[in-house]
Structure 1
């Protein structure tokens, strides 16, 4: 069996497992739409008032996409790696031709496909609320690349967390502050001056800046996309090495 065939087989099994988990389907596709209904459809903003949710709806497009790009791979890959550790499945897989890089690639491909589909649903929902933004081809780079970043991070979390519950708790504990401190829902000028350089350490900040630059006038989409792609390569490599694959 070729490498591509092994990845395809593992990805197919992973996708079928996802469809059988109704909770996972709900939080991947319907929960983010619920956020849009609440914040984009019900919460009214006043531009220029200097507080939260005071920008045009299009400003928050990266924030809504980030709820999927961040939470889905962290929780899914993290919990899957932890579950495989608990069940000694990596020890069994290490006796097969499948490598840890191929295993992570298969799970990453499934997550990227699911996240891309969920983001498409979100964009349609945003347009339905009257948001005005451009559907840039850069989204086809930023969304998959950032998904790969957090798949790699999720693999690291699952490799070192104390069981599956610990992986889920750690994923949520990391994702929540990262979501709100990465120029998504909160404008950078609302942060204290000393904290703003810290935002540059977040991969999600480059995603938010890139998406905002791609969907609204102004901003540097190329540099931010390049940073995200570079981080995706590094995160995937680190995540692969972290998986406890017993040779």
Structure 2
């Protein structure tokens, strides 16, 4: 079997597994929508006031997109590895020509498609619900590689969490422990000026910070390529580490 056929077969199997899990579909698509309705329509922003939501609505677009870019890959890939370990699936896969990076690449493709669709839905909803204004131009096209690269990075991190955690419950706990602070403190909902001076350099360590900067530059008519390049380098390194972490046997 050729490499393309191996990846395609794994992709199809992973896609079917996702659609069969109704809870995963719900939280991927409808939970972020609920947050937009709460924060965008009920809480709203106060551009002339103070507080957490003191910026223009478009400022928080990376935060809304980050919900699916961070949480979904971490939990899905990590939980899949935990389930495969419990069912001794990796021992069976070890007898096939499928390589670890091919397995992770196929699952990353599934996440990229699913999260791409969810991200498009969120983007449109944010524009209509919050009244966010974006600069329409070629820069908006950079949103596609930003999402794909971001998903790749957190799929790799999810694989590492799935290898380290000893159960599906452990994966969920670890994923939430990593995702929540990263999501909140990576120049998404909390502007750097609101953070203590000693903590601000820490945000530069977070990969999601470069995702946020890239999305913000793409929607404001700026140049997102610098942030995209940094994110791509980080994604490559973490994806390789994640591929190495995918178990072969237990």
Residue aligning to 1:240: 243
What are the superposed Cα offsets for residues 197-238 of structure 1, whole Å, 9 maximum, x if unpaired? 1111100011001101110144x5111100111111111100
Kindly indicate whether residue 134 of structure 2 is the aligned counterpart of residue 133 of structure 1: yes
Whole-Å separation in 1 of the counterparts to 2:7 and 2:214: 30
Residue aligning to 2:45: 45
1:50-199 to 2 correspondences below 5 Å: 50-129=50-129, 130-134=131-135, 136-199=140-203
Deviation at 1:195, TM superposition (A): 0.4
Whole-Å separation in 2 of the counterparts to 1:183 and 1:50: 17
What are the superposed Cα offsets for residues 162-213 of structure 1, whole Å, 9 maximum, x if unpaired? 2111011100111011111101000010001100011111000110011011
What are the superposed Cα offsets for residues 27-70 of structure 1, whole Å, 9 maximum, x if unpaired? 10111111111111121322143320011110000000000000
Whole-Å separation in 2 of the counterparts to 1:61 and 1:184: 8
3-state SS of paired residue (2:187): coil
3-state SS of paired residue (1:47): coil
Kindly indicate whether residue 219 of structure 2 is the aligned counterpart of residue 215 of structure 1: yes
Whole-Å separation in 1 of the counterparts to 2:98 and 2:45: 51
Unmatched 5+ stretches in structure 1: none
Residue aligning to 2:229: 226
3-state SS of paired residue (2:55): coil
Unmatched 5+ stretches in structure 2: none
Kindly indicate whether residue 203 of structure 2 is the aligned counterpart of residue 203 of structure 1: no
Residue aligning to 2:21: 21
Whole-Å separation in 2 of the counterparts to 1:96 and 1:71: 30
Whole-Å separation in 1 of the counterparts to 2:135 and 2:147: 15
TM-score (norm 2): 0.95
